[in-house]
Amino acid sequence: MYIIIGLGNPENKYVGTRHNMGFDVVDRLAYQHNITMDTVKHKALLGKGVISGQKVLLAKPLTYMNLSGESVRALVDFYKVTPADIIVVYDDIALDLGRIRVREKGSAGGHNGMKNIIQHLGTQEFVRVRVGVGEKPPRMDLADYVLSHYKAEEMPLVREGVVDAASAIELILEQDAQAAMNRYNG
């Protein structure tokens, strides 16, 4: 079984913000594959299903971004999976809006949610799908930027990023991370 973890913040006021890109991708996967997100356990909203022939658990940690590792650790321990069986999807300000990048391992790159996951798992060796939310404007606070809502004119690129990230995850499950990297990291 694979656990696909989308990072974000749980309150309604964060819906549609840049920092909730991971939640948006998990919601897209749930919709496309008729997976009902209706269980709250292990500090996450969960849904079980099948994607690309693989059993999956979709997870949206409810701990707030900076404590995402608490939920991920609980999920890994309860379901007895290894870090090789998880895929984390999240926002990245270093990528242009809507661009995605797949990696098999790596540092947190300054992302506090990822720092917390790496700290709780004790490894950087897990697949991640980063979705670009664009670079913050000069003189704007980073927290204010990632918690801001998209402008109307940005929405086509946002939707494209969500669709591409969901497709990349399907390809990872169908083949492997390398196949997704070859297709999407151009």
Q: What is the pLDDT of residues 28-55, one digit of tens each?
A: 999 999 999 999 999 999 999 999 999 9
Among candidate residues 19, 42, 111, 120, the one labeled active-site is 19
pLDDT band at 19 (very low <50, low <70, confident <90, very high): very high
User: Does residue 186 carry a pLDDT above 90?
Assistant: no
Of the CATH numbers 3.60.15.10, 3.40.50.300, 3.40.50.1470, 3.40.50.740, which one belongs to the domain with range 2-184? 3.40.50.1470
Q: What is the pLDDT of residues 74-84, one digit of tens each?
A: 999 999 999 99
CA separation for the pair 12, 33 (Å, rounded): 24
Find all residues with CB under 8 Å of 45, minimum gap 6, and list them: 10, 37, 39, 59, 60, 62
Give catalytic status of residue 19 as yes or no: yes
Domain ranges for the chain, please list them: 2-184
Average pLDDT across the chain, whole number = 96
Q: Is the dihedral of CA 31, 32, 35, 39 positive or negative?
A: negative
